[in-house]
Protein backbone atom coordinates (compact mmCIF):
# COMPACT_ATOMS: atom_id res chain seq x y z
CA UNK A 1 0.00 0.00 0.00
CA UNK A 2 2.71 2.45 0.95
CA UNK A 3 4.69 1.67 -2.19
CA UNK A 4 1.67 2.40 -4.39
CA UNK A 5 1.11 5.68 -2.57
CA UNK A 6 4.70 6.79 -3.11
CA UNK A 7 4.44 5.97 -6.83
CA UNK A 8 1.23 7.98 -7.07
CA UNK A 9 2.90 10.90 -5.33
CA UNK A 10 5.81 10.84 -7.77
CA UNK A 11 3.48 10.70 -10.76
CA UNK A 12 1.41 13.63 -9.49
CA UNK A 13 4.50 15.65 -8.66
CA UNK A 14 5.68 15.25 -12.21
CA UNK A 15 2.28 16.20 -13.58
CA UNK A 16 2.17 19.35 -11.48
CA UNK A 17 5.57 20.70 -12.41
CA UNK A 18 3.96 23.63 -14.16
CA UNK A 19 2.34 24.74 -10.92
CA UNK A 20 5.55 24.87 -8.96
CA UNK A 21 6.02 23.77 -5.39
CA UNK A 22 2.60 24.89 -4.20
CA UNK A 23 0.65 22.50 -6.40
CA UNK A 24 2.93 19.60 -5.60
CA UNK A 25 2.74 20.31 -1.90
CA UNK A 26 -1.06 20.38 -1.99
CA UNK A 27 -1.22 17.01 -3.72
CA UNK A 28 1.34 15.52 -1.37
CA UNK A 29 -0.59 16.81 1.64
CA UNK A 30 -3.84 15.35 0.33
CA UNK A 31 -2.27 11.94 -0.16
CA UNK A 32 -0.39 12.06 3.09
CA UNK A 33 -3.66 12.58 4.95
CA UNK A 34 -4.90 9.15 3.86
CA UNK A 35 -2.06 7.50 5.74
CA UNK A 36 -1.97 9.83 8.75
CA UNK A 37 -2.25 8.19 12.17
CA UNK A 38 -1.99 9.71 15.61
CA UNK A 39 0.48 12.57 15.42
CA UNK A 40 3.10 13.52 18.02
CA UNK A 41 1.79 14.81 21.33
CA UNK A 42 4.03 17.82 21.48
CA UNK A 43 3.12 20.84 19.34
CA UNK A 44 4.67 24.20 18.64
CA UNK A 45 3.46 27.74 18.39
CA UNK A 46 4.76 30.18 15.82
CA UNK A 47 6.85 33.11 16.89
CA UNK A 48 5.32 35.62 14.53
CA UNK A 49 3.36 36.14 11.35
CA UNK A 50 4.71 36.96 7.94
CA UNK A 51 2.40 38.69 5.50
CA UNK A 52 1.63 36.44 2.55
CA UNK A 53 -0.26 38.83 0.33
CA UNK A 54 -3.55 36.95 0.44
CA UNK A 55 -6.81 38.76 -0.22
CA UNK A 56 -9.07 39.85 2.58
CA UNK A 57 -12.61 38.55 3.01
CA UNK A 58 -15.07 41.45 3.04
CA UNK A 59 -18.26 40.65 4.91
CA UNK A 60 -21.26 40.03 2.67
CA UNK A 61 -24.77 41.16 3.49
CA UNK A 62 -26.56 37.89 2.71
CA UNK A 63 -26.50 35.68 5.82
CA UNK A 64 -27.47 32.06 6.19
CA UNK A 65 -31.02 31.63 7.45
CA UNK A 66 -30.29 28.51 9.49
CA UNK A 67 -32.62 28.35 12.47
CA UNK A 68 -32.98 25.35 14.70
CA UNK A 69 -36.29 24.01 15.98
CA UNK A 70 -36.23 26.44 18.91
CA UNK A 71 -35.75 29.37 16.50
CA UNK A 72 -32.46 30.31 18.11
CA UNK A 73 -29.49 30.71 15.80
CA UNK A 74 -27.31 27.58 16.14
CA UNK A 75 -24.32 29.55 17.39
CA UNK A 76 -26.38 30.61 20.43
CA UNK A 77 -27.43 27.12 21.50
CA UNK A 78 -24.41 25.79 23.35
CA UNK A 79 -24.36 25.01 27.07
CA UNK A 80 -23.58 27.58 29.72
CA UNK A 81 -19.83 27.77 30.56
CA UNK A 82 -18.58 26.17 33.76
CA UNK A 83 -15.11 25.54 35.19
CA UNK A 84 -16.43 23.03 37.74
CA UNK A 85 -18.20 20.61 35.41
CA UNK A 86 -17.08 16.97 35.34
CA UNK A 87 -18.53 13.98 33.49
CA UNK A 88 -17.29 10.66 32.07
CA UNK A 89 -15.64 12.39 29.15
CA UNK A 90 -13.62 14.67 31.44
CA UNK A 91 -12.82 11.79 33.79
CA UNK A 92 -11.49 9.78 30.85
CA UNK A 93 -9.33 12.69 29.69
CA UNK A 94 -7.94 13.19 33.19
CA UNK A 95 -7.24 9.47 33.58
CA UNK A 96 -5.47 9.29 30.21
CA UNK A 97 -3.64 12.53 31.03
CA UNK A 98 -4.05 13.75 27.46
CA UNK A 99 -6.77 14.98 25.10
CA UNK A 100 -7.19 13.44 21.66
CA UNK A 101 -8.12 16.17 19.20
CA UNK A 102 -9.16 15.74 15.59
CA UNK A 103 -7.49 18.38 13.42
CA UNK A 104 -6.39 19.19 9.91
CA UNK A 105 -2.70 18.99 9.06
CA UNK A 106 -3.00 20.58 5.61
CA UNK A 107 -4.83 23.88 6.21
CA UNK A 108 -2.32 26.69 5.91
CA UNK A 109 -2.28 28.85 9.05
CA UNK A 110 -5.05 26.81 10.69
CA UNK A 111 -3.60 23.35 11.24
CA UNK A 112 -0.49 22.50 9.24
CA UNK A 113 3.17 21.58 9.29
CA UNK A 114 5.40 24.42 8.15
CA UNK A 115 6.75 23.39 4.71
CA UNK A 116 9.71 25.72 5.20
CA UNK A 117 10.75 24.18 8.51
CA UNK A 118 14.29 22.79 8.60
CA UNK A 119 13.23 20.46 11.42
CA UNK A 120 12.62 16.91 10.22
CA UNK A 121 10.03 16.56 13.00
CA UNK A 122 8.05 19.74 12.30
CA UNK A 123 5.10 20.00 14.66
CA UNK A 124 1.55 21.00 13.92
CA UNK A 125 0.84 24.70 14.26
CA UNK A 126 -1.84 27.23 13.43
CA UNK A 127 -4.92 28.99 14.80
CA UNK A 128 -6.90 25.82 15.54
CA UNK A 129 -3.83 24.17 17.06
CA UNK A 130 -3.46 27.08 19.51
CA UNK A 131 -7.03 26.50 20.70
CA UNK A 132 -6.37 22.80 21.29
CA UNK A 133 -3.27 23.63 23.33
CA UNK A 134 -5.21 26.16 25.41
CA UNK A 135 -7.94 23.60 26.18
CA UNK A 136 -5.30 21.09 27.31
CA UNK A 137 -3.66 23.73 29.47
CA UNK A 138 -6.91 24.60 31.23
CA UNK A 139 -8.18 21.03 31.75
CA UNK A 140 -4.90 19.17 32.36
CA UNK A 141 -2.55 21.99 33.38
CA UNK A 142 -0.16 21.36 30.48
CA UNK A 143 -0.65 22.68 26.95
CA UNK A 144 1.44 19.87 25.45
CA UNK A 145 -0.86 17.10 26.68
CA UNK A 146 -2.60 16.78 23.33
CA UNK A 147 -2.62 13.92 20.87
CA UNK A 148 -3.51 15.25 17.47
CA UNK A 149 -5.22 12.98 14.98
CA UNK A 150 -5.47 14.11 11.37
CA UNK A 151 -8.98 13.55 10.02
CA UNK A 152 -10.48 14.51 6.64
CA UNK A 153 -13.43 16.87 6.40
CA UNK A 154 -15.90 14.03 5.87
CA UNK A 155 -14.72 12.16 9.02
CA UNK A 156 -15.21 14.92 11.57
CA UNK A 157 -18.59 13.74 12.85
CA UNK A 158 -17.97 9.96 12.63
CA UNK A 159 -14.67 10.37 14.52
CA UNK A 160 -16.60 11.87 17.44
CA UNK A 161 -19.47 9.41 17.32
CA UNK A 162 -17.13 6.42 17.22
CA UNK A 163 -14.90 7.68 20.04
CA UNK A 164 -11.75 8.15 17.96
CA UNK A 165 -11.26 11.64 19.37
CA UNK A 166 -12.44 13.64 22.39
CA UNK A 167 -13.10 16.72 20.32
CA UNK A 168 -12.64 18.21 16.86
CA UNK A 169 -10.99 21.60 16.36
CA UNK A 170 -10.96 21.82 12.59
CA UNK A 171 -12.64 24.91 11.08
CA UNK A 172 -15.99 23.20 11.68
CA UNK A 173 -19.10 25.30 11.16
CA UNK A 174 -21.88 25.14 13.74
CA UNK A 175 -25.12 24.21 11.99
CA UNK A 176 -28.54 22.89 12.96
CA UNK A 177 -28.06 19.71 10.96
CA UNK A 178 -24.76 18.94 12.64
CA UNK A 179 -26.19 19.69 16.07
CA UNK A 180 -28.43 16.65 15.62
CA UNK A 181 -25.29 14.49 15.55
CA UNK A 182 -22.68 16.21 17.76
CA UNK A 183 -22.45 18.93 20.40
CA UNK A 184 -20.75 22.26 19.78
CA UNK A 185 -19.04 24.83 21.93
CA UNK A 186 -19.91 28.46 21.61
CA UNK A 187 -18.36 29.99 18.46
CA UNK A 188 -14.70 30.95 18.30
CA UNK A 189 -14.49 32.35 14.74
CA UNK A 190 -16.76 34.07 12.21
CA UNK A 191 -16.40 33.63 8.46
CA UNK A 192 -18.57 33.02 5.36
CA UNK A 193 -18.73 30.92 2.20
CA UNK A 194 -16.76 32.29 -0.72
CA UNK A 195 -15.60 31.27 -4.19
CA UNK A 196 -11.99 30.43 -5.08
CA UNK A 197 -11.17 30.40 -8.79
CA UNK A 198 -8.29 30.95 -11.25
CA UNK A 199 -7.36 34.57 -11.79
CA UNK A 200 -8.50 34.25 -15.43
CA UNK A 201 -12.03 33.22 -14.43
CA UNK A 202 -15.20 34.83 -15.78
CA UNK A 203 -17.01 34.04 -12.53
CA UNK A 204 -18.00 37.20 -10.68
CA UNK A 205 -19.45 35.68 -7.53
CA UNK A 206 -22.29 33.57 -6.21
CA UNK A 207 -25.11 33.66 -8.74
CA UNK A 208 -25.71 33.67 -12.46
CA UNK A 209 -22.04 33.68 -13.53
CA UNK A 210 -21.76 30.15 -12.12
CA UNK A 211 -23.91 28.91 -15.02
CA UNK A 212 -22.26 25.97 -16.83
CA UNK A 213 -19.43 25.94 -14.27
CA UNK A 214 -18.20 22.86 -12.40
CA UNK A 215 -17.81 23.48 -8.68
CA UNK A 216 -15.90 21.38 -6.13
CA UNK A 217 -16.87 21.12 -2.47
CA UNK A 218 -16.00 18.82 0.41
CA UNK A 219 -18.51 16.07 1.18
CA UNK A 220 -20.70 16.85 4.22
CA UNK A 221 -19.55 20.50 4.18
CA UNK A 222 -21.82 23.49 4.71
CA UNK A 223 -20.60 24.74 1.32
CA UNK A 224 -22.24 21.76 -0.35
CA UNK A 225 -25.47 22.29 1.61
CA UNK A 226 -25.53 25.96 0.62
CA UNK A 227 -25.05 25.15 -3.07
CA UNK A 228 -27.75 22.49 -2.95
CA UNK A 229 -30.12 25.00 -1.36
CA UNK A 230 -29.17 27.50 -4.05
CA UNK A 231 -30.11 25.05 -6.77
CA UNK A 232 -33.41 24.23 -5.05
CA UNK A 233 -34.39 27.89 -4.59
CA UNK A 234 -33.21 29.12 -7.98
CA UNK A 235 -30.39 31.29 -6.63
CA UNK A 236 -27.99 29.17 -8.67
CA UNK A 237 -28.51 28.37 -12.37
CA UNK A 238 -29.72 24.87 -13.19
CA UNK A 239 -26.60 24.33 -15.29
CA UNK A 240 -24.22 24.79 -12.35
CA UNK A 241 -22.56 21.42 -11.75
CA UNK A 242 -22.09 20.74 -8.03
CA UNK A 243 -21.82 16.96 -8.33
CA UNK A 244 -18.11 16.73 -7.52
CA UNK A 245 -17.42 16.27 -3.82
CA UNK A 246 -14.20 15.13 -2.17
CA UNK A 247 -13.42 13.73 1.31
CA UNK A 248 -11.01 16.54 2.22
CA UNK A 249 -11.37 20.21 1.36
CA UNK A 250 -7.76 20.55 0.19
CA UNK A 251 -8.53 17.99 -2.54
CA UNK A 252 -10.70 20.67 -4.18
CA UNK A 253 -7.71 22.98 -4.53
CA UNK A 254 -5.83 20.15 -6.22
CA UNK A 255 -8.73 19.60 -8.63
CA UNK A 256 -8.74 23.32 -9.38
CA UNK A 257 -5.01 23.32 -10.05
CA UNK A 258 -5.38 20.34 -12.38
CA UNK A 259 -8.10 22.16 -14.35
CA UNK A 260 -10.75 19.58 -13.48
CA UNK A 261 -13.14 22.17 -11.98
CA UNK A 262 -13.87 25.84 -12.58
CA UNK A 263 -14.09 26.92 -8.96
CA UNK A 264 -14.08 25.84 -5.32
CA UNK A 265 -16.61 26.91 -2.71
CA UNK A 266 -15.46 26.84 0.89
CA UNK A 267 -15.15 29.09 3.94
CA UNK A 268 -13.57 32.42 3.02
CA UNK A 269 -11.03 32.07 5.83
CA UNK A 270 -9.74 28.81 4.32
CA UNK A 271 -9.97 30.12 0.77
CA UNK A 272 -7.85 33.15 1.70
CA UNK A 273 -5.12 30.88 3.06
CA UNK A 274 -5.17 28.78 -0.11
CA UNK A 275 -5.00 31.90 -2.30
CA UNK A 276 -1.97 33.00 -0.29
CA UNK A 277 -0.28 29.71 -1.14
CA UNK A 278 -1.09 29.71 -4.84
CA UNK A 279 -0.62 32.98 -6.78
CA UNK A 280 -2.66 31.68 -9.75
CA UNK A 281 -5.99 31.66 -7.86
CA UNK A 282 -8.07 34.34 -6.16
CA UNK A 283 -11.17 34.92 -4.06
CA UNK A 284 -14.13 35.94 -6.21
CA UNK A 285 -17.02 38.06 -4.96
CA UNK A 286 -18.00 38.66 -1.36
CA UNK A 287 -18.88 36.01 1.23
CA UNK A 288 -22.49 34.96 0.70
CA UNK A 289 -23.18 33.33 4.07
CA UNK A 290 -22.28 33.87 7.70
CA UNK A 291 -20.65 30.88 9.42
CA UNK A 292 -19.35 30.30 12.93
CA UNK A 293 -16.67 27.77 13.84
CA UNK A 294 -17.06 25.79 17.05
CA UNK A 295 -15.27 23.00 18.89
CA UNK A 296 -17.25 19.80 18.26
CA UNK A 297 -17.69 17.06 20.87
CA UNK A 298 -19.79 13.95 21.42
CA UNK A 299 -23.44 14.74 22.19
CA UNK A 300 -23.22 12.93 25.53
CA UNK A 301 -20.21 14.96 26.74
CA UNK A 302 -22.32 17.79 28.16
CA UNK A 303 -19.99 18.81 30.97
CA UNK A 304 -16.99 18.73 28.63
CA UNK A 305 -18.87 21.22 26.46
CA UNK A 306 -19.31 23.46 29.50
CA UNK A 307 -15.61 23.25 30.36
CA UNK A 308 -14.57 24.05 26.80
CA UNK A 309 -16.98 26.99 26.73
CA UNK A 310 -15.35 28.40 29.86
CA UNK A 311 -11.95 28.01 28.21
CA UNK A 312 -13.21 29.92 25.16
CA UNK A 313 -14.74 32.70 27.27
CA UNK A 314 -11.31 33.28 28.82
CA UNK A 315 -9.42 32.70 25.57
CA UNK A 316 -11.41 35.33 23.70
CA UNK A 317 -10.24 37.82 26.32
CA UNK A 318 -6.54 37.03 26.55
CA UNK A 319 -5.36 34.71 23.77
CA UNK A 320 -7.55 34.89 20.69
CA UNK A 321 -6.21 38.19 19.30
CA UNK A 322 -2.59 37.12 19.75
CA UNK A 323 -3.24 33.91 17.85
CA UNK A 324 -5.09 35.79 15.09
CA UNK A 325 -2.20 38.21 14.68
CA UNK A 326 0.29 35.34 14.59
CA UNK A 327 -1.44 33.11 12.09
CA UNK A 328 -4.21 34.86 10.18
CA UNK A 329 -3.41 38.55 9.83
CA UNK A 330 -1.19 37.77 6.84
CA UNK A 331 -4.10 36.27 4.90
CA UNK A 332 -7.19 37.96 6.38
CA UNK A 333 -5.75 41.38 7.23
CA UNK A 334 -4.75 43.11 10.43
CA UNK A 335 -8.33 44.04 11.36
CA UNK A 336 -9.74 41.01 13.17
CA UNK A 337 -13.15 42.57 13.84
CA UNK A 338 -14.89 40.69 11.01
CA UNK A 339 -13.54 37.37 12.25
CA UNK A 340 -14.09 37.71 15.97
CA UNK A 341 -17.34 35.97 16.95
CA UNK A 342 -19.95 37.84 18.97
CA UNK A 343 -20.41 36.73 22.54
CA UNK A 344 -23.36 34.31 22.69
CA UNK A 345 -26.51 36.24 23.48
CA UNK A 346 -28.07 33.17 25.07
CA UNK A 347 -27.29 29.57 25.96
CA UNK A 348 -29.52 26.52 25.83
CA UNK A 349 -29.82 26.40 29.65
Q: Which domains does the chain have, with CATH numbers?
A: 74-190+293-333 (3.40.190.10), 193-284 (3.40.190.10)
pTM of the predicted model as reported, rounded to 2 decimal places: 0.80
Q: How many CB atoms lie within 10 A of CB 322?
A: 12
Please state, rounded to an integer, the average pLDDT across all residues of the chain. 82
Q: At what angle do helices 88-96 and 127-140 cross, to 10 degrees?
A: 90
Q: At what angle do helices 127-140 and 320-327 cross, to 10 degrees?
A: 150
Q: Which residue has the higher pLDDT, 305 or 45?
A: 305
pLDDT reported for residue 46: 35
Based on the number of CB atoms within 10 Å of its own CB, is 37 exposed (0-12), middle (13-18) or buried (19 or more)? exposed
pLDDT reported for residue 36: 38
pLDDT above 70: residue 8: no
pLDDT reported for residue 117: 65
Pairing of strands 281-284, 106-107: unpaired
Amino acid sequence: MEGLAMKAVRRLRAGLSGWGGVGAMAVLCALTLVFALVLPVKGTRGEGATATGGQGTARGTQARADKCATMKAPENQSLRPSSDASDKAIERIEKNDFITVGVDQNSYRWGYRDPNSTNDDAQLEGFDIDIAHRIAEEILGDRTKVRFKAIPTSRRIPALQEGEVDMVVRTMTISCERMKQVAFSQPYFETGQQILAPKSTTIEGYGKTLADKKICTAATSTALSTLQDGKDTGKLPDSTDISLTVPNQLDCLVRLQLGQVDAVVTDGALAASQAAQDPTVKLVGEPFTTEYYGVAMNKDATDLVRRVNQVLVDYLKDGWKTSYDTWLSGTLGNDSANSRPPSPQQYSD
